[in-house]
C-alpha cells in the first residue's frame, strides 16, 4: 500500500437553497465524509445522479472549501481533468490549445512545442486553425481531451469524461486514460457505470445521500451498490 | 465418440491403432477416449505406446504431462512438459502448461516468470495477461495485476510507461509568478483577438472607437457649448484618452471574477487572474490609441513639445498601477455584493464628471474644485495636461497622492484576497 496522499476528514458541504418550494433551508450534498487516498491507487466513486460525486471531486481538487471538516493534502498536486475549460469559441483551436495548455501549468514555449502533437491527437486537421465556434460538439470535445492528455499531476481526478467523440475516438481516449492508470498514476474516477469501475479500480466507494459506503473489498462494495440501486 | 457411444468408438480406435500406428493423432484420440472414461491406466498406456511409436511428438508429451498433473504427480509432469517444450518451440500450449505447473506448485514468482516467457513469445495472447494478473494478485501485487489485466483487454502497449512531459511539477513552484504573468498576458492577447475576430475592421477599432468619442465631445462641448478653454481639442484628448482606458478596465474587470466561475472550479486558478486579464486587455486595447492620438495632437501643436514629455511613461505606469489596484478591489467585492455590479456603470459616469475629463475641474464654483483634488483620477488627468499642454514638470504632490492612494487600495485588495481566497468560488455558486 502506498502512502496516503490526500485525506478527507469529516468533510461536509451544504448549499443554501433559495427556491420557494424548498422544504429545508440547505441542500447537503456531502455529510461527514472521511476518506484516504493512497499513492498509486485507482479509486472509483460510484453513486446515483446528484449523489454528490462531482462535489466530492471539487473538494479534492481544492477548488471548493468544505463547510465542515478539512481536506489534508500531503504535498501533492491534484488536477481535475476538465475538458474545454476556458474555451473561447471565437478563437481558433490552436489558440485555445495554447491557453488551455498554459492553464494546466505549462509555459508558453512548452505548449507551443506540443501544439502539433495535440492536433494530431485530436484529429482536427485543417480545422485546427478555424474558430472553435465552427466545430461540431464532437470536435470540440476531442480538442478538449487532446489538450488534457498532456497533464500528469500526482493525483488525477476524472469526472465521467471517458465518453468523448465517436466510437473510434472514445476508444482512443479510454486507452490513453488506461495508460495513465496502468503506469501507476493515482486516479480518482467518478462514474455511474458500474462495469467501468469494476474493471479499472482497485478500490471503490459509494456515495449515497451524501454518505460514504465502503465494503470490505471491491466486490463487496459493488454488491452493496447493486443493492442500493435495486432499492430505488 | 462425441455421440457418447464409447464402445463403438473403442472398436474403431482399435482398428485405427493397428492400421495407423505411426500417426500421433490416433494415440491422442485414444488417450482422449480413455480420459473420457476416467480410465487413467489405459490413458497412460496409450500415451506411452504413442510415445514409443512417435518419439518426441509434442502433443503426446503435453498430454502425458497433463495426465501426470491429474494424478498429482507434478515432478513427473515437469519432465514431460520440458520435453514437450523442447520438441516444438512454436507451440504455445506447452508453455501455458509450463506456467500452470508453477501455479499448481503455488510457486508464484516462478509462475510469474513463466508467464512472462510466454508473453515474450506471444505478446498478443490475451488470456496470458489475465492469468498473469491472477498470479500477481496471489502475490498481493494488486496494481501490477491490474496493469496486466487491462493490457489483456486493451492491448499490450498499455504496459509501456507513459512518456513523462518534460515540464515537471517543480516548474510550477519556482517559475510560478512568471508563469502567472505569462498566462495573464496570453489570455489578454487572445481576448483581444477574440474581441476583434468577428468585425471587419479588426484592430482598426482600437483607434476608431476613441476617435469617435473625441469627435462627439469636441463638437458638443468645444463648438456648441464653448467650454471656454483654449486649444480645446488637445485639452479634451488629454482627458478623454486616459479616462477611456481607465473606464474600460474598471467596467470589464468588475464582473470578471463572477464570469470566471467555471474556470476557477475546474482549474484552481487564482481569482486575481480575471481582473488582471481585464486590465491588461484594456491596456493593450487603449495604449496604441493613446499613443497614436497623442502623437497626432502634438503634431498639430508643435510649440508644446518639451523635455518634460519624458515624464509621460512614468505617468502612464502610475495610472496602470492605480487602475490595477482599483480593479482588483472592485472585482473582489462584487461576487459578495452582486448588486454593486449595477452601480459600476453609473459610478464611472459620475467619476467622469468629477474628474474633469471634458472641462477643467478647477473652474468649478466654490469649494467643489478643491474637494475634487482628492479624486485621484482628476489629479491624474490634470497631470497629463500639465505635461502635454503646458509643457511643465508634473506636480510632485499630486503624484505622491496617487502613489499613496494606489498603495492603500492595493494593500486592501491583497488583504481581501488573502482572507477570502477560498470563498470566491463558493460565492459564485449561489
Question: Which of B51-60, B189-198, B247-256 shows the lowest per-residue confidence on average (mean pLDDT)?
Answer: B51-60
Predicted pLDDT at B321:
92
Give B 26-45 residues with CB within 8 A of chain A.
none
**What per-residue confidence (pLDDT) applies to B322?**
92
Residues of B in contact with A108 (CB under 8 A): 182, 186
CB < 8 Å & 24+ apart, contacts of B154-159: B154/A174, B154/A175, B154/A178, B155/A175, B156/B119, B156/B123, B156/B124, B156/B129, B157/A179, B158/A175, B158/A178, B158/A179, B158/A182, B159/A182
Of A90, A102, A110, the CB nearest to B194: A90
In A, which residues are within 8 Å of B176 by CB distance? none
Note whether residue A111 is domain-resident.
Answer: no
Question: Would you say A60 and A188 are in contact if contact means Cβ atoms under 8 Å apart?
Answer: yes
Shortest Cα–Cα distance, A231 to chain B (Å)? 31
pLDDT for B269 beyond 60: yes
For residue A160, tell me if it sits in a domain.
no
* Ordered domains of chain B (ranges, CATH): 6-158 (1.25.40.10), 178-429 (no CATH)
Tell me the residues of chain B between 349 and 368 that have a Cβ less than 8 Å away from chain A.
none
- Search chain A and give the residue with CA nearest B173: A105
CATH classification of the domain holding A42 = 3.40.50.300
Question: Which of B79, B55, B56 is CA-nearest to residue B67?
Answer: B79
For B359-410, what is each residue's pLDDT tens digit?
A: 777 666 667 777 777 888 888 888 888 888 777 778 888 888 889 989 999 9
Measured distance CA(B63)–CA(B45) in Å, rounded: 12
Q: Which long-range contacts (CB under 8 A, 24 or more apart) does B138-142 make?
A: B138/B106, B138/B108, B139/B108, B139/B109, B139/B112, B142/A202
Q: Which pLDDT belongs to residue B123?
A: 63
Q: Which residue has the higher pLDDT, B278 or B5?
A: B278
Please answer whether residues B324 and B277 qualify as being in contact, where contact means their C-beta atoms are separated by less than 8 angstroms.
no
Count other Cβ atoms within 10 Å, centred on residue B353: 12
Domain of A22?
A: 4-80+185-231
B400 to chain A, any CB pair closer than 8 A? The answer is no
The helix (H) or strand (E) run that includes residue A32 is: strand A26-38
**Low-confidence residues in chain A, pLDDT < 50:** none
* Residues B430, A16: C-beta atoms closer than 8 Å: yes
pTM, to two decimals: 0.73
Q: pLDDT confidence of B104, banded at 50, 70, 90?
A: low
A67: its cell numbers: 463547510
- Give B161's contacts in chain A (Cβ within 8 Å): 183
A23 located within any domain: yes
Does residue B144 have a pLDDT over 70?
no
DSSP 3-state of B3 = coil
Are residues A16 and B165, on separate chains, in Cβ contact within 8 Å?
no
Residue B2 has pLDDT above 60, yes or no: no
* Structure confidence by residue, pLDDT tens digits, B284-303: 888 777 777 677 767 776 66
Residues of B in Cβ contact (< 8 Å) with A154: 169
pLDDT value for B111: 67
Mean pLDDT of B349-356: 85
- Does residue A197 sit within a domain? yes
Among the partner-chain residues A15, A104, A108, the one whose CB lies closest to the CB of B182 is A108
The reply to whether A27 falls in a domain is yes
| From A90, A178, A181, residue closest to B198, measured CB to CB | A90
DSSP code of residue A81: -
Strand A26-38's sheet: what is its strand order? Answer: A26-38, A4-16, A68-73
Nearest residue of A to residue B137, measured between CA atoms: A202
In a domain, A127, yes or no: no
Nearest CA in chain A to B264: A63
Higher-confidence position of B383 and B178: B383
Distant-in-sequence, close-in-space partners of B91: CB < 8 Å, separation ≥ 6: B58, B59, B62, B84
Are the Cβ atoms of A65 and B423 closer than 8 angstroms? yes
Output the average pLDDT for chain B.
74
Domain assignment of residue A141, yes or no: no
Q: Chain B residue closest to A174 (CA)?
A: B154
Confidence class for position B325, pLDDT limits 50, 70, 90:
very high
**Residue A34 forms part of a structural domain:** yes
Q: In angstroms, how far is CA B139 from the centroid of its own chain? A: 37
Residue A2 DSSP symbol:
P
Going by pLDDT thresholds of 50, 70 and 90, the confidence category of residue B167 is very low
Which residues lie below 8 Å from residue A114, measured CB to CB, with a gap of 6+? A101, A106, A150, B165
Q: Give the highest mean pLDDT range of A57-61, B5-9, B209-213, B225-229.
A: A57-61
The more confident residue out of A117 and B226 is A117
Provide the number of structural domains found in chain A: 1
- pLDDT, one tens digit per residue, over A13-71 is 877 666 665 566 677 778 888 888 888 788 888 877 777 788 888 888 877 888 888 88
Amino acid at each position: 500500500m502506498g502512502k496516503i496522499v490526500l485525506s478527507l476528514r469529516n468533510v461536509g458541504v451544504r448549499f443554501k437553497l433559495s427556491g420557494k418550494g424548498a422544504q429545508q433551508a440547505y441542500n447537503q450534498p456531502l455529510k461527514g465524509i472521511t476518506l484516504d487516498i493512497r499513492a498509486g491507487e485507482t479509486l472509483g466513486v460510484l453513486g446515483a445522479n446528484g449523489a454528490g460525486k462531482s462535489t466530492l471531486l471539487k473538494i479534492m481538487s481544492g477548488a471548493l472549501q468544505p463547510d465542515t471538516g478539512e481536506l489534508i493534502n500531503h504535498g501533492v498536486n491534484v488536477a481535475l481533468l476538465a475538458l474545454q475549460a476556458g474555451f473561447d469559441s471565437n478563437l481558433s483551436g490552436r489558440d485555445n490549445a495554447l491557453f488551455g495548455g498554459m492553464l494546466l501549468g505549462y509555459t508558453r514555449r512548452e505548449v507551443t512545442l506540443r501544439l502539433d502533437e495535440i492536433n494530431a491527437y485530436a484529429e482536427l486537421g485543417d480545422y485546427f486553425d478555424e474558430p472553435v465556434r465552427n466545430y461540431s460538439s464532437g470536435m470540440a470535445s476531442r480538442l478538449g481531451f487532446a489538450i488534457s492528455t498532456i497533464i500528469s499531476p500526482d493525483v488525477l481526478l476524472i469526472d465521467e469524461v471517458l465518453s468523448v467523440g465517436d466510437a473510434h475516438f472514445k476508444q482512443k481516449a479510454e486507452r490513453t486514460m488506461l495508460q495513465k492508470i496502468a503506469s501507476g498514476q493515482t486516479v480518482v474516477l467518478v462514474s455511474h457505470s458500474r462495469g467501468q469501475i469494476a474493471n479499472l479500480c482497485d478500490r471503490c466507494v459509494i456515495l449515497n445521500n451524501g454518505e460514504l459506503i465502503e465494503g470490505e473489498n471491491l466486490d463487496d462494495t459493488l454488491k452493496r451498490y447493486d443493492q442500493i440501486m435495486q432499492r430505488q | 465418440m462425441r455421440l457418447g457411444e464409447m464402445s463403438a468408438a473403442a472398436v474403431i480406435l482399435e482398428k485405427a491403432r493397428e492400421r495407423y500406428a505411426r500417426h500421433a493423432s490416433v494415440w491422442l484420440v485414444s488417450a482422449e477416449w480413455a480420459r473420457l472414461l476416467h480410465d487413467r491406466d489405459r490413458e497412460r498406456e496409450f500415451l506411452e505406446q504413442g510415445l514409443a511409436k512417435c518419439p518426441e511428438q509434442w502433443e503426446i508429451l503435453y498430454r502425458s504431462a497433463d495426465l501426470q498433473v491429474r494424478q498429482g504427480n507434478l515432478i513427473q509432469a515437469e519432465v514431460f512438459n520440458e520435453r514437450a517444450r523442447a520438441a516444438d518451440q512454436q507451440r504455445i500450449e506447452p508453455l501455458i502448461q509450463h506456467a500452470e505447473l508453477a501455479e499448481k506448485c503455488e510457486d508464484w514468482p516462478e509462475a510469474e516468470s513463466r508467464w512472462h516467457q510466454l508473453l515474450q513469445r506471444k505478446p498478443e495472447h490475451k488470456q496470458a495477461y489475465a492469468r498473469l494478473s491472477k498470479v500477481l494478485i496471489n502475490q498481493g501485487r494488486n496494481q501490477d495485476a491490474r496493469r496486466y489485466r487491462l493490457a489483456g483487454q486493451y492491448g499490450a502497449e498499455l504496459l509501456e510507461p507513459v512518456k513523462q512531459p518534460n515540464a515537471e511539477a517543480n516548474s510550477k513552484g519556482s517559475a510560478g509568478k512568471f508563469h502567472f504573468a505569462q498566462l495573464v498576458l496570453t489570455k489578454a492577447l487572445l481576448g483581444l483577438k477574440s474581441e476583434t475576430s468577428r468585425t471587419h475592421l479588426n484592430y482598426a477599432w482600437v483607434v476608431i472607437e476613441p476617435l469617435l468619442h473625441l469627435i462627439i465631445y469636441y463638437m458638443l462641448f468645444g463648438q456648441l457649448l464653448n467650454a471656454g478653454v483654449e486649444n480645446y481639442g488637445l485639452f479634451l484628448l488629454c482627458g478623454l484618452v486616459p479616462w477611456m482606458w481607465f473606464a474600460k478596465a474598471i467596467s470589464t474587470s468588475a464582473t470578471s471574477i463572477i464570469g470566471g466561475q467555471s474556470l476557477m472550479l475546474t482549474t484552481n486558478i487564482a481569482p486575481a487572474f480575471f481582473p488582471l486579464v481585464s486590465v491588461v486587455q484594456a491596456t493593450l486595447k487603449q495604449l496604441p490609441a493613446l499613443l497614436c492620438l497623442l502623437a497626432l495632437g502634438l503634431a498639430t501643436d508643435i510649440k508644446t513639445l518639451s523635455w518634460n514629455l519624458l515624464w509621460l511613461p512614468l505617468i502612464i505606469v502610475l495610472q496602470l498601477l492605480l487602475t490595477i489596484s482599483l480593479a482588483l478591489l472592485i472585482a473582489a467585492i462584487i461576487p459578495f455584493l452582486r448588486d454593486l455590479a449595477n452601480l459600476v456603470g453609473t459610478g464611472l459616469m459620475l467619476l467622469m464628471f468629477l474628474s474633469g475629463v471634458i472641462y477643467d475641474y478647477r473652474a468649478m464654483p466654490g469649494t467643489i474644485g478643491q474637494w475634487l483634488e482628492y479624486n485621484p483620477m482628476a489629479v491624474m488627468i490634470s497631470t497629463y495636461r500639465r505635461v502635454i499642454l503646458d509643457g511643465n514638470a508634473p506636480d510632485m504632490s499630486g503624484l505622491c497622492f496617487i502613489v499613496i492612494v494606489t498603495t492603500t487600495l492595493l494593500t486592501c485588495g491583497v488583504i481581501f484576497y488573502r482572507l477570502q481566497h477560498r470563498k470566491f468560488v463558493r460565492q459564485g455558486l449561489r
